[in-house]
Structure 1
Amino acid sequence: MIDNNQLLRFTTAGSVDDGKSTLIGRLLYDSKSIFEDQLESIENTSKQKGHEGVDLALFTDGLRDEREQGITIDVAYRYFTTPKRKFIIADTPGHIQYTRNMVTGASTANAAIILVDARHGVIEQTRRHAFIASLLQIPHIIVCINKMDLVDFSEEAYQNVISQFEDFSAKLLVKDVRFIPISALLGDNVVNRSENMAWYQGAPLLHTLETMHISSDLNKVDARFPVQTVLRPQREGYIDYRGYAGRVASGVFRAGDEITVLPSGFTSKIAFIDTYGGKVEEAFAPMSVSITLEDDIDISRGDMLVRSNNKTEVSQDVEVMLCWLNNQPAKDRAKYTIRHTSNDQKAMIKEVIYKIDINTLERNKDDKQLAMNDICKVKLRTTKPLCVDSYRDNRVTGSLILVDDATNETVAAGMIV
């Protein structure tokens, strides 16, 4: 039964010391998802640090620097299963200099848990993480108002945070926002319902995660196949074989389909589709296959096969919502390597259209300098045409990254608009 359970990926975000790692530790601990030897190790470490009980945050803070500082630096992934569902958790950092890690952790999430300290309310990092979750089209946001024990489990404090968050989130494109008052340290409303907050009539966090509807983020309509490599095996029976290998990004391809190769525009038909286990009649996302065409066409890595009646946009000028991730500011008209599906080429930031003020969500069209954690809309110019869809329609063909050639660091992540 467990093997057939639906998988939910969720990320935790919030400001530093809001209790993200403690919350995940509480989820694992109370749902009996921790191995005995791991629990024993954490108990020993907790005693060495002078804690009376188990320091739940240690279940996710695995790096030495994190344990010494008591903060999360890297994205920590944890896996656990209940009788109703399987989960993958991405515990992301709260410090502002690690916002880029939050982008990484949230990029594949079905839901985002945003923690807010009941004493401090909605602050800048709360707004930043909520806005990033909105940009990444995460369909469900659960706002966990934590440390309710430090405000005497006050319903008024809970309602104040809800009011602050709703004033901000009204401008965001988020379909589903839920609020849960919790104490991760004591376990209130995490796995079990709280006896200290009888005024809260909703479900605890784990029940919410187990029953939340998960919609597939795969585009099943637009057929997109980025070519990763060309297969030319030189052995008996395969002398004339020419297969285009890759992973189906979206949609369905079938033998006999009329396809167009982009950006060249040449057309052909699919002769047959190969997999590791043999030929198949159809391939759909996210299968890895080799597609053979009826005609010999010059196709190489970075080209994209699409159905002829369902083409994508091909352009050298692409408008992108960009999250700048690097410590160094963007260089004026500097060239970067753009990585989009299997296509790597050079690109430059042609124009900064506007930057987003995280606190007000207003657009600043005057400030053109990109610094770390800035979120902005830019126009990119590429050396060769890109085959793109909007991120809203297709997460795979609608996302990209920029890489600095000198340092090989990923400097920005972008969502095509």
Structure 2
Amino acid sequence: MEINNNQLLRFTTAGSVDDGKSTLIGRLLYDSKSIFEDQIQAIESSSQKKGYDGIDLALFTDGLRDEREQGITIDVAYRYFTTPKRKFIIADTPGHIQYTRNMVTGASTANAAIILVDARHGIIEQTKRHAFIASLLHIPHVIVCVNKMDLVDFQESSFNEIIGAFEEFSSKMLIKDIRFIPISALKGDNVVNRSDNMPWYQGAPLLHTLETLHISSDINKVDTRFPIQTVLRPQSEQFLDFRGYAGRLAGGILRIGDKVTIMPSGFTSTIKSLNGPSGFLDEAFAPMSIAVTLNDDIDISRGDMLVKSNNVPEASQDIEVMLCWLNNDDAKPRAKYTIMHTTNEQKAMIKEVVYKIDINNLGRNTKDKTLKMNDIGKVRLRTTQPLMIDSYRKNRTTGSIILIDENTNETVATGMVI
């Protein structure tokens, strides 16, 4: 198998409080030798102060002082590590219900989600909540790690029982790929190295699973979407007449000679050249950052979108989204917000809250429509100008929006286009 050493995999961890998320990440970093010596010494010192005989692996990610004092994860902690096969960014998200917004933030760009389940307690309400959010955010791969197998004597029956319970409630969710791994983060079983205590498990350990997940097809390579970030007009003799449109491909493939349409104006042209950081390209594909030149002079500016002429997104001022409210202040219907969609910035207002999701039982609440912090609900928005949107299921970049308070400039909500 050919390995792409530059391929980056983003994954998020979720689980109930004390399920061992931070310990698992600490074990991944420690056993894969991705931690500097001075960091290990600092953690060993902190562990001794807390009365540990060995090393408290959770301290590798619980970087905030409040978290270290309480022994819990409050904010989203991002960690980077690399192996010879792949690069990784980990989002360690908190398990409390009051930090639902943090999990949504950490999971929004993830290729995979690791959901931890305590082998002693099995599937609990938090497990269902996190699986629902992973499904809502269309995370392509979910890895259910049944942790603390050492506390149930590494019994296969405990593992199989949890698999059955998880598959039963997740069958109604839109998760393409679910895998189950029995582990002990504290002891290191099936995290980086295969466990001798569970010979009945024939699958790969967690790190090998993460290294070999097929993520190339997670990006939409069919629908070409190129939001214009800036117009390049270098004032030099070498590039006197150069006019390039720079940005990051949000979907699809572009080749020289392709017929393209500029949205929302509807003008058409063909691609003259494609330029990447290393020079000219014959073709470009998502998520590359490129500059495009066209064969026609067209008025194009930031916020416009370049698409294939035979495959255009919907241009709409009325948008239905699943909105996660992030702010202390409640959502204000009919109030004006700034809406950010790709590189496009417009004004928008909340026309209607259709329903709220009861995050405890995943039901729809059509009576209480007040969006408070951490609430998720179906909302209808109205924008001042049309946005070029796809459904979030189709494209996670062109299908997502954020709302910003005009007065405070705070990000108050994030949304997924239905």
TM-score by length of 2: 0.91
Structure 2: segments with no counterpart, 5+ residues: none
Letter in 1 for 2:124: I
Alpha-carbon distance, 1:238 to partner: 4.1
Q: CA deviation at 1:19?
A: 0.7
Distance apart, 1:147 and its partner CA:
2.2
> Which ranges of structure 1 fall in alignment gaps of 5 or more residues?
none
Asked if the contact 2:5/2:85 (under 8 Å) is kept, the reply is: no
Which residue of structure 1 lines up, in the alignment, with residue 165 of structure 2? 164
Once the two structures are TM-superposed, the CA of residue 34 in structure 1 deviates from its matched residue by: 2.4
Q: 1:387 to 1:179 in 2, by over 3 A?
A: same
Residue type of the alignment partner of 2:38: D
Please give the per-residue CA displacement for 1:324-356, whole angstroms capped at 9, x wherever unaligned.
222322112222111111001111121222332
- AA paired with 2:366? K
| Counterpart check, 1:49 vs 2:50 | yes
Q: How far did 1:47 drift?
A: 0.8
Shift of the alpha carbon at 1:214?
Answer: 2.8
2:327 is the counterpart of 1:323: no
Amino acid at match of 1:169: S
Query: Is residue 2–residue 86 contact of structure 1 (8 Å, CA) maintained in 2?
Result: no
Structure 2 counterpart of 1:375, one-letter code = I
Does the aligned pair in 1 maintain the 2:129–2:362 contact within 8 Å?
no
1:54 Cα shift?
A: 0.2
Letter in 2 for 1:52: D
Q: Is the 8 A contact 2:5 2:84 kept in 1?
A: no
Output one character per residue of 1:140-168: Cα deviation in whole Å (capped at 9) or x when no partner: 21111222333444444434433332232
- CA RMSD in angstroms comes to 2.4
Offset at 1:189?
A: 2.6
1:17 corresponds in structure 2 to 18
- Structure 2 residue 72 is the aligned partner of structure 1 residue 96: no
Counterparts of 2:154 and 2:183, CA distance in 1: 9
Counterparts of 1:407 and 1:17, CA distance in 2: 36
Letter in 2 for 1:102: M
Report the secondary structure of 2:101's partner residue: helix
1:133 is matched with 134
Which residue identity lines up with residue 125 of structure 1 in the other structure? Answer: Q
* Per-residue Cα deviation, 1:90-147 (whole angstroms, up to 9, x for no partner): 2112222222222222222222110122333333322221111112222221111222
2:248 counterpart residue number: 247
1:286 to 1:3, Cα distance in 2 relative to 1, 3 A? closer
Match of 1:298 in 2: 299
Give the 3-state SS of the residue equivalent to 2:296 in structure 1: coil
1:34 aligns with 2:35: yes
Q: Tell me how far apart the structure 1 counterparts of residues 198 and 287 of structure 2 sit (CA, whole Å).
A: 44
Instruction: Give the letter for the 1:323 counterpart.
Output: C
1:275-314 equivalence runs, <5 A:
275-314=276-315
Name the SS of the counterpart of 1:216 in structure 2: helix
Measure the CA separation in 2 of the matches of 1:185 and 1:172.
31
Q: Read off the aligned partner of 2:18 and give its amino acid letter.
A: D
Paired residues of 1:2 and 1:83 also in contact (CA < 8 A):
no
Checking the alignment, whether the CA contact within 8 Å between 1:171 and 1:361 is kept in structure 2 is no
SS of 1:143's partner is: strand
Alpha-carbon distance between aligned partners in 2 of 1:278 and 1:325, rounded to the nearest angstrom: 41
Contact 1:339 1:345 in 2 (8 A): yes
| Alignment correspondent of 2:355 | 354
**In structure 1, distance between residues paired with 2:193 and 2:275:** 49
- Inter-partner Cα distance in structure 2 for 1:171 and 1:68: 40
Q: Is the 8 A contact 1:13 1:92 kept in 2?
A: yes
- The offset of 1:277, in angstroms, is 4.5
Tell whether the 8 Å contact from 1:245 to 1:291 is kept in structure 2 after alignment: yes
Change in CA separation of 1:6 and 1:261 when aligned onto 2, cut-off 3 Å:
closer
Q: Map Cα deviations across residues 18-38 of structure 1 (whole Å, 9 max, x no partner).
A: 110001111222233322222
Q: 1:44 to 1:379 in 2, by over 3 A?
A: same
Q: Which amino acid aligns with 1:64?
A: R
AA partner of residue 182 (structure 1):
I
Distance in 1, matches of 2:141 and 2:277, equals 36
Change (3 A) 1:2 1:393: closer
Distance in 1 between the 2:414 and 2:299 partners?
31
Residue in 1 that maps onto 2:400? 399
Q: Does 1:383 align with 2:384?
A: yes
1:226 is matched with: 227
TM-score between the two structures when normalised by the length of structure 1: 0.91
CA contact (8 A) 1:124 1:358 kept: no
User: Are 1:189 and 2:197 counterparts?
Assistant: no
Greater Cα shift, 304-313 or 175-184:
175-184
**Separation (CA, whole Å) in 2 of partners of 1:266 and 1:212:** 40
Name the stretch that deviates more: 61-70 or 363-372. 363-372
Give the match for residue 260 of structure 2: 259
C-alpha distance in 2 between matches for 1:210 and 1:308: 37
The percent of aligned pairs where both chains have the same amino acid is 76
Which 4+ stretches in 1 moved above 6 angstroms?
A: none
Specify the code of the residue in structure 2 equivalent to 1:383: T
Residues 138-217 of structure 1 aligned to structure 2 (within 5 Å)? 138-217=139-218
Cα distance between partner residues in 2 of 1:348 and 1:2: 47
For the Cα contact (< 8 Å) 2:333–2:352, is it kept in 1? no
**Please, which moves more after superposition, 406-415 or 202-211?**
202-211
User: For 1:148 and 1:282, how far apart are their aligned partners in 2?
Assistant: 49
User: Which whole-Å CA distance do the structure 2 matches of 1:190 and 1:279 have between them?
Assistant: 43
Task: Tell me the SS of whatever aligns to 1:162.
Answer: helix
Deviates more, 1:388-397 or 1:82-91: 82-91
Assess if the C-alpha contact under 8 Å between 1:245 and 1:289 holds in 2: yes
Asked whether the 8 Å contact 1:217–1:395 carries over to 2, the reply is no
Instruction: Describe how 1:355-374 pairs up with structure 2 within 5 A.
Output: 355-374=356-375
